[in-house]
Structure formats: C-alpha cells, structure tokens
Amino acid sequence: MHGLDTSKRIDHAQRVYQSFPGANYVLPSDTTERERLALQHRLLKGSFEDRIIACPVTITSEDHILDSGTGSGTWLLDVLSIIPAAAVVHAIDIESRLFPVDDSRIVSRGNVEFLTTTITKLPAEWSGIFTLIHQRLLVAALRAEEWKMAINEMMRTLVPGGWVQLGEVGSWKAGPTTEKHIALVQTLFKAKGLVLDCARYIPDMLRDLGFVHVSVEERTIPLGSWAGDVGVGARNNFIGVFRGMKTPILNAGGLGVVDSEAEFDSLLDGVEMEWNETVGAEIRFYVFSAQKPLSE
C-alpha cells in the first residue's frame, strides 16, 4: 500500500477535488483549474506549432475518436474544427465537473459524448472502435500498474491501424528553491504510487504492449519572466499545477518539507521568483505517437 499519514493533517484552505473510487489524482477540479487548463492548452499548442493532431492519421466522417482525461475539453474543442462534422467524438474523465457540455460547439454538433469513467477500464462495447485516442497529462493520476492498464485499454479500443497520441511533461530545472520543491513533489508522487518521470517509460510501455511506429516529439519550454510572454504563460501554468497540490501535501502532514500552509505558500512564492530570475529555467514536454498494428 502507498501510505500517506493523514493523522498529521495540516489545516488549510481546501479546494475542490474529484472523488472517483480508487483514484489517486492530486489536482483540483474547480474554476481556477478550468482557467489553468485553458492557459495550459494555449501554451502547449503553441509549443507544438499549433498542431492539434501529431499522429500521421486522417480522420474521416466514419471515424470515432476518444479524448481520455478530457477535463474541460481544451484539446477536444480544438480538434472539432479540424475533423469532419460527422466523426463521432467520445470524451472520458473520472470527474465530470469540468465537462464543456454547454459549449455551443458541442451542443450544435450533437455527436460528442461525455462519460465519467477511468481510462483503466473503458466500456466493454468500445472494443476496436477508435481511429485516434488522445490523452494529455495523466502524470498526476496514474500509478505504474495503471499506466499499463490504460495502454492496454487503448490497444483494445483502437481499430487495427489506429493511433494513440499521449502528451506528458518531463523534468524541469531552475535553482536551489526549485530543487527543494522538486524533492517535495517527488515525495508526494512516491507516497501516492504516481510516476513523476512517466515520460521516460511511455515509449517502452507502448512497445511492450504491442504498439508499433512509436515516436516522440520533445520541446523545452522556458519558465519565468526572463523569457517574455511564453515564459510568463509557462510560469503561471506550472506554478498553478504545483499550488494545486497543496491539499494532498498538507493532508499528508507536509511530507517532512513544510509545516504549515504559510510555509507551503512561501515555498511556492520562492519557486516562482526563482523562475523569474533564472535565465535558462525550463521544463520539458513530450508528445508520443504510436500505432496499433494493422494485423494481430
């Protein structure tokens, strides 16, 4: 078991988190998070030359596609404008609170289906139906064994020759305060059984579980005001991610690094300042593509 000692809980202003049975996701699902996801999508899209689909796949009117861990549907809403209107879009998440069900692009289209479920156990009737499965940023959600379950489910539900596109964050660096904070994040992820460096393992997991044509695109994104608008956007996004981990960290007693909410906030303020002042502060991001073989 991955033990977090909740008896040492530190009192703090708590945000809203999901409560899907058995899930270990450490980020909130509130309005602030919705705004952050929109910023993050703009940042990542820009880092990949505004490409929404990175795989060599053409979506036709007969196709079905899936967005796993859709959140507020940032990727999904953009993909609608580049695929045929008749193509059916499915989106899943363990938390429905951010689903963009009232967005006019979804309502007018009429063939976008949202389902509250986990990527580790998709509906049985979805075998062999998707031409493309997209999943971005489940790093703060899936344990090692769940990554394998998820990729197996992707394999099962793709058509032969279908593609997966996975986006994940890699390492980041700036200076000593950032190193101290990285140690805290590593401790949280270890305690929860999450895989902070999942990007290192994804290509081999995809190959081991039968995918072919596995490829990766890597980008380095600058962090902090020294890097102008992109650095400010990246800073606001990623500091937002880490501030969003306050509740799991303080509920676990601060994990030996912070003793109070004020100390947590002050550490994050220090990280933010360090990013602003450290020329070369950066974070890596990866987009993986892989194909289900055409024949078994």
Ligand X SMILES: C[S@@+](CC[C@H](N)C(=O)[O-])C[C@H]1O[C@@H](n2cnc3c(N)ncnc32)[C@H](O)[C@@H]1O
**Sole binder of ligand X in the list 95, 272, 274, 282 (CB under 6 A):** 95
Q: By three-state DSSP, how is residue 6 classified?
A: helix
Residue spans of alpha helices (H) in the chain: 31-47, 74-79, 104-109, 144-157, 176-192, 198-208, 228-243, 246-251, 261-277
Residue closer to ligand X, measured from CB, 37 or 290: 37
CA distance 77 to 112: 10
Binding mask 28-67 for ligand X (x = CB under 6 A): -x-------x---x--------------------------
CA distances for 98 relative to 28, 42, 81, 168, angstroms: 11, 17, 20, 20
Q: Which of the stretches 21-29, 175-183, 198-206, 251-259 binds ligand X when contact is defined by CB under 6 A?
A: 21-29
Element holding 115 (H helix, E strand): strand 112-116
**Sole binder of ligand X in the list 94, 112, 122, 287 (CB under 6 A):** 94
Q: Tell me the closest approach of the beta carbon of residue 27 to ligand X, in angstroms.
A: 6
**Sole binder of ligand X in the list 141, 154, 169, 290 (CB under 6 A):** 141
Position 233 contacts ligand X (CB under 6 A): no
Give, rounded to a whole angstrom, the gap between the first and last alpha carbons of the chain: 36
Query: Beta strand pairing status for 158-173 and 282-291?
Result: antiparallel
CA distances for 233 relative to 42, 46, 185, 215, 292, angstroms: 9, 11, 21, 27, 35
Q: Tell me the closest approach of the beta carbon of residue 188 to ligand X, in angstroms.
A: 15
CA distance 106 to 1: 41
CB 211 within 8 A of CB 291: yes
Q: Tell me the closest approach of the beta carbon of residue 160 to ligand X, in angstroms.
A: 24
Query: Hey, what are 143's tokens?
Result: 């344990």
Total binding residues toward ligand X, as defined by CB under 6 A: 24
CA distance 281 to 72: 28
Q: Tell me the closest approach of the beta carbon of residue 290 to ligand X, in angstroms.
A: 18
Q: Which of the stretches 4-12, 47-55, 89-97, 153-161 binds ligand X when contact is defined by CB under 6 A?
A: 89-97
- Binders in 168-227 for ligand X, by CB under 6 A: none
Q: Tell me the closest approach of the beta carbon of residue 278 to ligand X, in angstroms.
A: 25
CA distance 101 to 15: 23
Q: Tell me the closest approach of the beta carbon of residue 41 to ligand X, in angstroms.
A: 5
CA distance 232 to 36: 13
Q: Tell me the closest approach of the beta carbon of residue 263 to ligand X, in angstroms.
A: 25
Binding mask 107-136 for ligand X (x = CB under 6 A): -----------xxx---------------x
Residue closer to ligand X, measured from CB, 166 or 206: 166
Q: Give the footprint of ligand X on this chain (CB under 6 A).
A: 18, 23, 25, 27, 29, 37, 41, 68-71, 74-75, 92-95, 118-120, 136-138, 141
